[in-house]
Amino acid sequence: MKLTLNSPLDMHLHLRDGKMLDDIAKYSAKSFAGALIMPNLIPPVTTIKAIIEYKERILKACNGEIFTPYMSLFFKESYTPEFLRDAKPFISAVKLYPSGVTTNSEGGVSSIDIKKLAHIFEAMSELGIPLCVHGETDGFVMDREKEFSAVYESIASAFPKLTIIMEHITTKESAELLKKYDNLYATITLHHLLITLDDVAGGLLNPHLFCKPIAKTYKDREALVQIAINADKKVMFGSDSAPHLASKKECCGCAAGIFTAPIALSALAELFEKHNKLTNLQAFASDNARNIYNITPPKKEVVLRKKEQTIPKEFEGVVPMFAEKRLTWSIEQIY
């Protein structure tokens, strides 16, 4: 049993920088034709010079693989329409982080005041630059995404020409919100399609499944699975693959993030096959993103075969999701 994916895309990817970038970029570059790269480095990517230099480092780390890094800017309240116009040729999106909600987001927006930020949203609307958002408040951890819904609604209604990507949605309410506004879209991760909070903390605490936003309930997971496997045009795959060394995960103050890059396509194939929706994986893992972002990725065919594999214990010191467990699908060939 085989499946060929044409130019699969990962529209939410953390590659870090320095040695971590050099070690792990190859795993995404091997199996994906492109990815939207997150800008929350230290310091964050906020200038055209930083975009260009970071992209060069990514390409160098990809070891010649067919792979396009689609770059993003870290949202700053100080951006001007003129700056965004100059930056547009170098970016595919601007990523908004509420301050302090996730890894390296301390320089994010402290308060999302629509009137105060209107000039930025209007410029992005006119220029056709998508706004990607980490949609969480600083409230109770299970309610943060739900509480942020009002912010999405206010931006979507005030700026109907602005393409808004709700990143890594985790709740049934977010899935339903997509239907309400034509300009709202979403990425869904592998892990939020497969796990709930029970997997993270229902028994012994599993630090390698701790992420932000936290995995939610069975009801929430099922809502995400349904819109993913049924090829809803509003959603696309974004792994939010976020590598941390094992020493940063297996400790007090565990870092948030799940590393899925090397196994993502195999695990997605297993999930879609389970629901008899294997042919819909092409839309979720590529076609929808092309339409939402208006991009043409490089040609790359990834052939998956139903062949069991055992996931390695680690990749370059980073423990992946499903480490030492088995998946029923494997990548057979890439060309």
What are the DSSP calls for 108-171, one per residue? SBS---HHHHHHHHHHHHHHT--EEE----SS-TTTHHHHHHHHHHHHHHH-TTS-EEETT--S
Handedness of CA 90, 95, 99, 102 (dihedral sign): negative
Distance of CA 86 to the CA centre of its chain: 25
Helix (H, G, I), strand (E, B) or coil at 257: coil
SS (H, E, C) 169-211: CCCHHHHHHCCCCCCEEEEECHHHHHCCHHHHHCCCCCHHHCC
Residues 168 and 191 sit within 8 Å (Cβ to Cβ): no
**Helix 48-61 with 18-31: angle, nearest 10 deg:** 70
Q: What is the longest distance spanned by two Cα atoms in the chain?
A: 54
Torsion of CA 30, 293, 195, 257, to 10 degrees: 70
Contact 132, 35 (CB under 8 A): no
Rounded Cα–Cα distance for residues 43 and 45 (Å): 7
User: In which residue are the tokens 């055992």 written?
Assistant: 310
Are the C-beta atoms of 74 and 46 separated by less than 8 Å?
Answer: yes
Closest CA to 227 of 143, 171, 310: 171
One of 10, 220, 232, 240 is an active-site residue; which one?
Answer: 240
- Our answer to whether residue 199 is catalytic in this structure is no
Active site residues: 240
